[in-house]
A and B are shown apart, each in its own frame.
Chain A
Amino acid sequence: MNESEQIKRTTLKSANSSRFVLMILFLLISLFFHASVLAASQSRPNLEIFSKEIIQNIKQTSEVAGAMEQSLKDVISRLEKQDGLYHAAHCDSDEQDIGCDQLRAQLGETYLEMLDSMEESLPEMEHSLATTHASLEKRIYKQMGKNLTAAGLQDLVKNAKTTEMSPSLGKRALSKRVSAYYNLVRNGSPGSLSVVAAELYVDSHEVVQLLGLIREEIGRSRLMVEIGQSWGIVSPEMQNTVQGVKSILFGQDVESGKQVEKLTASAADTIYRSPLELR
């Protein structure tokens, strides 16, 4: 065997052995990674999403929403009455009538009063909701996003008891929704708490965004009314603002809250369980 052949063989050997070492290393790393994920999925940590602080936050949000509803209830109902009167008197077609001018002025004043009242209580409401939302986000991310698999989420759901009324499904007044969440958190089982947390998180995410939009809309409406000075009638934009405020605070359809179907208990003992069934 000549020297160059020997060098070739040695190089080939070392290349093979380094490839082998690399393969083993890769195998070990993937095994370690898989084992750690498997351990995470099997340990199924008990979720502790609702800290005392979050519960306190939810309670506070409910109170703030309640106070806001109360302060706006009168002014919105007055606004609606005046608007009804304005249309009943056919003021939209008779622009010269003195009575209609007075009604227009009253409408504008009441509308500004509503905007004032909203502007006063919106920041506290937004802050309270945003705090709840941020705290929930942190915990949901850590406990459900990083530490659980999709099948782990299903395990949580199986432990969840059916609630009689899902707060967001009912489209109820905001304070009632938040207070329903608060009651569910206080009395809920660990499984259903994760569902409540998810619902409250998604719901508050939407409401915070809507409140932001309404705040922008208020600024625009105020400008329009103030520039106009003649007060004018309640424009479609103003009506949208009033509807938006109403739907968030008072709910869109208070009575037609969709009842989540109450399920009768199944006779679990008599049901056949196959050894093939995954649980």
Chain B
Amino acid sequence: MKVQNQIKLLLSGCFAIVCLALSACASNFMLAEGPCAVPSTKNLDKAIEHSRNALSDHYCSSDFENHFDNLLRVAEENPSADNNRRFSNFLQWAETTGLIGNTKAKHRYTRYFSRTFVALPDNYSNCSSTCPRVPKVQSDLRAELVEKERGSRILSNKQLMLDAHQDFEKVQLLLEATCISCQANAS
């Protein structure tokens, strides 16, 4: 009797795990159907409207990243100088509704549509904090540069990409010089 109960318990546990895994897969692969699904339209304004409606549902709030990424994809197919206004409005809306925090909204916008690199820390001095982890900072910078390239395509703004690339090169140079001097003075 005891053994039977244990087997039942084990089976129901397995069932629960399978259900959880399936639901996780469903949210990862973005089901085309359902209230949280990302829009299939290629029109950015319509896609934003759809995402707003979907994300307004408390049940779908965890799908913000999927929706944002989809909007970027749609925007890449519809490049326009006005797209940053659309994204800014969308992010401000997401912030107001509490989907994301203020810092995340600012960082998310800046990562794609501004030459400023948010990957550069602004809390401690270079010698004490940045130089010991230069490889990580550099890889974060590179990742952000790729996002800025995407943002520049979305805005059809080559200048943004050129500015970002130039800043990237110069910051790398300043970091290299600064960290060599820090190392020389530490020894």
Q: Are A154 and B167 in contact (CB under 8 A)?
A: yes
A278 at the interface (CB under 8 A from B): yes
B184 contacts A157, CB within 8 Å?
no
Question: Across the interface, do A150 and B85 meet the contact criterion of CB distance under 8 Å?
Answer: no
User: Given known contacts A141-B182, A198-B176, is B162 in contact with A272 (CB within 8 Å)?
Assistant: no
Rounded to whole angstroms, the CA-CA distance of A261 and B165 in the bound complex is 11
Please give, as numbers and ranges, the residues of chain B lying within 8 Å of A38 by CB-CB distance: 123
Interface of B is mostly: helix
Contacting B at CB under 8 A, from A170-210, are: 194-195, 197-199, 201-202, 205
Q: Does B116 contact A (CB under 8 A)?
A: yes
- A191 (CB) vs chain B CBs: closest residue: B170
Query: Per DSSP, are chain A's interface residues mostly helix, strand or loop, or mixed?
Result: helix
Residue A3 interfacial (CB < 8 Å)? no
Interface size on A, residues (CB 8 A): 45
Answer whether residue A1 sits at the interface, using C-beta atoms and an 8 A cutoff. no
Cβ proximity bits A248-272 to B, threshold 8 Å, 1 near / 0 not: 0000000000000101101000011
Measured CB to CB, the closest approach of chain B to A154, in angstroms, equals 5
Give the docked Cα–Cα distance between A142 and B130 (Å): 15
CA A160 to CA B123, docked complex, whole Å:
23
A148 CB–B CB distance under 8 Å: yes
Provide the bound-state CA to CA distance between A158 and B115, in Å: 9
A7 within 8 Å of B by Cβ? no
List chain B positions with a Cβ less than 8 A from chain A.
Answer: 81-82, 84-85, 87-88, 91-92, 105-110, 113-118, 120-127, 129-131, 137, 159, 162-163, 166-167, 170-171, 173-182, 184-185
17 example contacts (A-B, Cβ-Cβ < 8 A) are as follows A137-B185, A140-B178, A140-B181, A141-B127, A144-B174, A145-B131, A145-B178, A149-B121, A149-B124, A152-B126, A158-B167, A198-B173, A198-B178, A202-B176, A274-B109, A275-B92, A277-B88
